[in-house]
Amino acid sequence: MKDKSSRPALADTNANIGAYDKILLGFPIWWYTAPTIINTFLESYDFSGKKIILFATSGGSGIGGCVDALKDSVLQSAEIKAGRMLNGRLLSDELKKWVETL
């Protein structure tokens, strides 16, 4: 969806965000950024003091611009970091090693 101000509704709003310090948040990149449902998710919970690591898939875009595009959807005390692109086939050992570095 090209309308960056749209906020689709979440089907479930009972995520136990408070139980986690680090949150891996994945999505496909659409039109060079995260789908607006990701903004809805980030705006629906208190991520104060949390580290949010993004991962994504895309046919051609990088993940770098997503960090800046999503920062306004969380409080300043939350940290959003670009993780990595997960395109193609990845071995489970490779994913485990990446997650362990976080």
What is the tally of helices (H) and strands (E) in the chain?
3, 3
What is the rounded distance in angstroms from the CA atom of residue 11 to the CA atom of residue 41? 10
Using the Cα atoms of residue 71, residue 6, residue 63 and residue 99 in order, give the sign of their dihedral.
Answer: positive
Report which DSSP code applies to 84: E
User: pLDDT (tens digit, 9 = 90+) per residue, 69-96?
Assistant: 999 999 999 999 998 899 888 889 998 9
The pLDDT score that the predictor gives to residue 10 is 95
**pLDDT at residue 2 above 80?**
no
Distance, in Å, from the CA atom of 19 to the CA atom of 70, rounded to the nearest integer, reads 22
Claim: this prediction has a pTM higher than 0.85: yes
Domain 22-101: assigned CATH number? 3.40.50.360
Q: What is the pLDDT of residues 12-50, one digit of tens each?
A: 999 999 999 999 999 999 888 899 999 999 999 999 999
The ranges assigned to domains in the chain are 22-101
